[in-house]
Structure 1
Amino acid sequence: MSTTANSAPPPPGIYVPAVVFFYDNEELDVPSTQAHVLRLAKGGVTGILVQGSNGEAQHLSHDERKLTIRLARNILNGNGFEHVLVIAGTGGQSTKETKKLCMDAKEAGASHALVLTPAVWAPQMTKERILKFHRDVADASPIPTMIYNFPTVTAGLNLDSDIIGELGQHPNIVGTKLSCADVGKLHRLTSTLPPSKFATFPGSSAVFLQGLVSGSAGVIGALPNVAPKAHVELYRLYKAGKLKEAEKLQALLGHADWELQKLGSIAGIKAVVSKHFGYGNTNVRGPLTPRDLNAAGAAATAKLEELIALEKSL
């Protein structure tokens, strides 16, 4: 076991599963990817999640996954953002592959690993096998691991608070990202596992404030790819006890997040970012396809446009 006594969760704050950019031939667009990481850091995020679902992890080779972690860590270090964490998505479809991805993540500069449950054989993923998988990975990982619960990309597998709570007892499992957006589940976990040992994050900006009220550690969500400063502002308002102002901003985040989902999330993020922030493009790796914002129509992005105007004013 590689677990150490000081396995600690990532600090509370705003984390963003960053998109990666590609050229027309689907090769990595390194300058745009680095420009994106740098804008997020300048926007005040606490950490960058490399190879979350928005980072098209399953569309990258092992070498590309390791490269993008290193690119993020290097661009942060080179611009005075050494304090900004890099968390790596390390989910694989076997225990062996996932262990290897955790080792690669450590070597490339990640502080924590976010582990998706394998789901090719979803009917065979019993509670016992899920527990064993995550514990085996955590035993072998040279960095602390976190449980990534995202039923949409795991053939409907939805880990309940009992399973996650049991996993949270492991000394090297230090948190979770709940992309199920289940605030009840989140609150059960935050009221069971101490925040000094286990960080519980909602995986959607649509429940950012609701999660904070229920004891979450912040948010790990797609929308900060577009508006990191707005999320930092909501967090500040909440911490200052300005709940009415926070509620108003949360409403905007919720509407904008819904628009982004309807645009196809990953493709939508790239289309919005490349249009408004001066870098990147709309390319995604197949079978995904780019999103044309003009074809979507102005009404499809009205709240996103409002959020971007706020973002640029902060």
Structure 2
Amino acid sequence: MSTTTQTPSGLLPPPPGVYVPAVLFFHRGSEDIDEEAYGKHILRLAEGGVTGILIQGSNGEAQHLSHSERSRTIAFARKTLDEAGFHHVLIIAGTGAQSARETKELCVQAKESGAGWVLVLTPSTWAPAMGVESIIKFHREVADASPLPYMIYNFPTVTAGIDLDSDLISSLATHPNIVGTKLSCGNVGKIQRLSSSFDSKSDFATFAGKSDVFLHTLLSGGAGTIAALVNLVPKIHTRIYQLFREYQETKNAKVLEEAFVLQAKLSAADWGVSKIGGVGGVKAIVAREFGYGNTVVRGPLREVDLLGLLEKSEQGRRWWKEVEEVLRIEKSL
């Protein structure tokens, strides 16, 4: 069941907090969705205190799924959360596609499957033939048709280098159904400009798309993060968010210092995971450290041999050391 809230001026953004673009697990050989592993992952994230889960973000391999698989994973996640008593954990659905028509269809299907918001990646197949006006038209047209409140997903790494600037996003933010953005560009200046221009709680929410700027985003007035590293260490992210809220109330510098100590460790681990192998690396680490799932990704993504990397690469062992440190802290919380 959808959990968005209607207001007289439009639809609310997702509430501030910690969100995770959940990885999706597949059976080896068939590449069918492994619901048992996926369910365990969804529940571990919920138990870690996340505010919500993004189904089919880039880490969820959205572009590698059929429409029926995309709907199925949303419905499965909502059912899994509800049956375990996590009704308060929200669901955002990634509904990006390479045409406005297909994106509209996915937005409708996301609502039918139980999502509360949609997150839409800018198309990129014909990036040189688009331009700013085409991008603005695309997002406004799809937002007009979306039955759920709409968020803009900016991730230049996966959109052929298309990087929406703060002017463009600000112009889209005035649309009555566009309620937020996920900025995986990691541009703190952009986060600052947007978060200082809009109220994240009631108007337009700016979320960091990377853990390495999580606390910086909060201090800039942003809403929080929707970040891949939360797949591994949800409790640390939740702890940083709690410390930030405590600092807001008390202005106790020691509380902020503690948050920055944890943030420094997140930043190092975020870089380490990205170098180990992104989506494939996250799956490999989850399987090794938490005992479910496997390393299977759908092509053309690259499967990560974590053990081989640690045995053969000195640099890989240095990256792993940073990841191992946050895993140690996570398991102690």
TM-score in terms of structure 1 length: 0.97
Give the alignment of 1:1-20 within 5 angstroms.
Answer: 5=8, 6-20=10-24
Alignment partners' CA distance in 1, 2:330 and 2:227: 16
Q: Tell me how far 1:183 sits from its aligned partner.
A: 0.6
2:251 aligns with none
Give the alignment of 1:1-314 within 5 angstroms.
Answer: 5=8, 6-25=10-29, 26-195=31-200, 196-241=202-247, 242-297=255-310, 298-314=317-333
**Structure 1 pair 300/191, CA: closer, same or farther in 2 (3 Å)?**
closer
Paired amino acid for 2:173: G
Count of residue correspondences: 312
Alignment partners' CA distance in 2, 1:286 and 1:127: 31
**Structure 1 pair 4/212, CA: closer, same or farther in 2 (3 Å)?**
closer
Q: Structure 1, residues 152-199: CA drift from partner, whole Å, max 9, x if none?
A: 110000000011001000010000000001010011001112221111
Paired amino acid for 2:17: G
Q: Tell me how far 1:264 sits from its aligned partner.
A: 1.3
Matched position secondary structure for 2:297: coil
Paired amino acid for 1:219: T
Contact 1:57/1:89 (<8 A) preserved: yes
Matched position secondary structure for 1:240: helix
Alignment partners' CA distance in 1, 2:279 and 2:143: 29
Contact 2:14/2:117 (<8 A) preserved: yes
Q: Tell me how far 1:299 sits from its aligned partner.
A: 3.0
Q: Tell me how far 1:296 sits from its aligned partner.
A: 1.5
Paired amino acid for 2:224: G
Q: Structure 1, residues 89-142: CA drift from partner, whole Å, max 9, x if none?
A: 000100000000000100000000000001111012211111111011111000
Alignment partners' CA distance in 1, 2:191 and 2:264: 20
Q: Tell me how far 1:34 sits from its aligned partner.
A: 1.1
Alignment partners' CA distance in 1, 2:94 and 2:246: 32
Q: Tell me how far 1:27 sits from its aligned partner.
A: 1.1
Alignment partners' CA distance in 1, 2:256 and 2:129: 45
Q: Structure 1, residues 34-57: CA drift from partner, whole Å, max 9, x if none?
A: 110110000000000000000000
Contact 1:4/1:172 (<8 A) preserved: no
Alignment partners' CA distance in 1, 2:33 and 2:184: 26
Alignment partners' CA distance in 1, 2:179 and 2:282: 29
Identity %: 59
Alignment partners' CA distance in 1, 2:262 and 2:7: 40
Alignment partners' CA distance in 2, 1:275 and 1:35: 14
Paired amino acid for 1:179: S
CA RMSD of aligned residues (A): 1.1
